[in-house]
Amino acid sequence: MIRNFENKTAVLTGGGSGFGLECARIAARLKMNVVLVDVQQDALDKAEAEIKATGVKVFAKRVDVSSAEQMEVLANDVQAQFGAPHFVFNNAGVGSGGLVWENTVADWQWVLGVNVWGVVHGVRLFTPMMLDAAKKDPSYEGHIVNTASMAGLLTAPNMGVYNVSKHAVVALTETLYQDLKLVSDQVSASVLCPYFVPTGISQSHRNRPAELPHQKATKSQLIGQAMSDKAVSSGKVSAAQMAEMVFEAIANDQFYIYSHPQALGNVQTRMEAIVQQQNPPNPFAARPDIGEKLKAELRS
């Protein structure tokens, strides 16, 4: 929980676009120090210029969050410039689709590297720093927000690697929350679980490292990309609205942050099937036309 954001420090991965940039805009409005982290240099430069123009202190650094070494340098830089941060947003993420057996080792390494290891590094490096600050200062307030997805609570077909990565983030963050409650009343955590919100995640391949092997996209991957593009672009909840929800959650120590609470009916159905030892429910029960279309395309 953070009640007063002014003069506090926010570290935002994926800060060059989407949720990260929108949270940076709010942080600047609240007069926080802003640390922008992104792997895409042009987006980072543009974001840095925009946030600096508001008059707050800004530190921008190009970082591949999947790299332990680069994240360690970032943590040291933040400590040197601002001390322990107060808000850490482990938000950088990439998308991936296709039938789960068709993803290559490189696909798994890339998606898990960014979506899971990026969060792991943020948690393992900044949490001790924040807890140390809390011990030294009874007035210190800190909060970690990790970006997962509704895909971290559901298991939609044709996007297995992404599902796995986001389920890991949910489990990691729930555990982080419980662990923090054991040792401190001054540092807490939340998990962000957006559904379809217009951001750049459906075009994640723009930042796929050149050194990772590429293979020609399979039919299922092309279908998955098209479905993702359509769903994300048609989202009615904006990234800016989600960023407002993030700051409200931090102020209220609210753990789960949802863009589309109506999707929780599918989560409840899934959980009931688990408890009752039933087979996984049809993910297209509410929209059988989409399920039949996907099945027909994959079998054609």
> Do 68 and 150 fall within a single domain?
yes
Annotated catalytic residue within 140, 162, 195, 258: 162
User: Looking at the domain assignment, is residue 85 inside a domain?
Assistant: yes
> Do 290 and 223 fall within a single domain?
no
pLDDT score recorded for residue 208: 65
> Do 269 and 195 fall within a single domain?
no
> Do 79 and 112 fall within a single domain?
yes
> Do 229 and 185 fall within a single domain?
yes
Tell me the C-alpha distance between 128 and 134, whole Å.
10
The count of C-alpha atoms lying within 13 angstroms of the C-alpha of 171, restricted to the half-sphere facing its C-beta, is 9
Q: Return all residues near 126 (Cβ < 8 A) that are at least 6 apart.
A: 11, 75, 78, 84, 85, 88, 144
Structure token digits, residue 94? 């990439």
User: Looking at the domain assignment, is residue 2 inside a domain?
Assistant: no
> Do 213 and 296 fall within a single domain?
no
Pair 131, 187: CB distance under 8 Å:
yes
- Encode the chain (300 residues) as per-residue pLDDT tens digits: 999 999 999 999 999 999 999 999 999 999 999 999 999 999 999 999 999 999 999 999 999 999 999 999 999 999 999 999 999 999 999 999 999 999 999 999 999 999 999 999 999 999 999 999 999 999 999 999 999 999 999 999 999 999 999 999 999 999 999 999 999 999 999 999 999 877 655 565 656 676 767 778 899 999 888 887 777 776 679 999 999 999 999 999 999 999 999 999 999 999 999 999 999 999 999 889 999 999 999 999
Pair 111, 96: CB distance under 8 Å:
yes
Nearest Cα to Cα of residue 103 among 223, 220, 227: 220
Length of the chain counted residue by residue: 300
User: Looking at the domain assignment, is residue 183 inside a domain?
Assistant: yes
What percent of the residues of the chain are helix, what percent strand, and what percent coil, each to the nearest 5?
A: 55, 15, 35
> Do 85 and 178 fall within a single domain?
yes
pLDDT score recorded for residue 33: 98
> Do 271 and 227 fall within a single domain?
no
User: Looking at the domain assignment, is residue 271 inside a domain?
Assistant: yes
- Identify whether 177 is a catalytic site residue: no
Q: Return all residues near 150 (Cβ < 8 A) that are at least 6 apart.
A: 193, 194, 195, 258, 260, 263, 267
Tally of domains in the chain:
2
> Do 165 and 277 fall within a single domain?
no
Q: Which domain holds residue 286?
A: 264-300
pLDDT score recorded for residue 197: 79
User: Looking at the domain assignment, is residue 1 inside a domain?
Assistant: no
